[in-house]
Structure 1
């Protein structure tokens, strides 16, 4: 499913997911949606290397990761580098708005994942609130004009 009028400020994504089947599905969905998935990794430690060495527009991040580094640490690092954060997790934490632009609950459909990334694009590229997406919570505030 491609979005015909998709804003173009989000192109390069990093997927950080420790469940190999979910990671594969997310990567396939996003590639078919027209996004450039730079890498798919299963740990915070692996994500740090990609964050340091690649130009990224957004990360799709599960909070439960392999390794010792938490998903929250990865989210903060990405946010501090100006990279949009979409949490994709079993239960959106109460403090998700402090570390991410949006949180998509698992399980989710392919169209919900694409809709969530599109929502982030709408918020960042157009400075507008996003359309409702099933299972998505957004934490966006408009930029002052």
Structure 2
């Protein structure tokens, strides 16, 4: 399978989504986009376990999760471990910039999901402002040279 635009510094993803149909769609879309989805889980506890066992470059995270650990707590843990966080939720919270690099509003197209990850790659791999993606808010600050 050939990919028009392979991921650069983000290759291994963890999908954290409690709706099984949405999770399946994300996994399919991201794999088709050239990403390696190391796991798809529905709870914060399962997400933390995967991040402890697997190398993960980024997480695709819905804030509403099964289990006791909140999406915000998972985002903070991932961020503290140097894992890029893409929130994908019904409405981006006011504090999204404190816990994530970007937030994609639901509903969105498959192209917007892969576009959101490409935007994160542009921000962290190239230290450049990303192109606009419909429904995506980014919280990027250039790194000092």
Report the TM-score when normalising by structure 2: 0.97
What residue in structure 1 maps to residue 83 of structure 2?
A: 83
Listed as ranges, the gaps of 5+ residues in structure 1 are none
Aligned partners of 2:110 and 2:97: how far apart in 1? 23
Give the count of matched residue pairs: 144
Counterparts of 1:130 and 1:37, CA distance in 2: 23
Rounded to whole Å, the distance in 1 between the matches of 2:5 and 2:127 is 15
Partner SS, residue 28 of structure 1 = helix
Inter-CA distance 97–3: structure 2 relative to 1 (3 Å threshold):
farther
Asked if residue 110 in structure 1 is aligned to residue 110 in structure 2, the reply is yes
SS in 2 for 1:87: strand
Mapped partners of 1:59, 1:131: distance in 2: 20
Residues 58 and 102 of structure 1: CA distance in aligned 2, closer, same or farther (over 3 Å): same
Superposed structure 1 runs of 4+ greater than 3 Å apart: 2-7
How far is the alpha carbon of 1:64 from its aligned partner?
Answer: 0.1
Q: Partner of 1:141 in structure 2?
A: 141
Q: TM-score, normalised by structure 1?
A: 0.97
Distance (whole Å) between structure 2 residues aligned to residue 112 and residue 7 of structure 1: 15
Aligned to 1:10: 10
- Structure 2: 5+ residue runs without aligned partners? none
Q: Is contact 2:8–2:121 with CA below 8 Å preserved after alignment?
A: yes
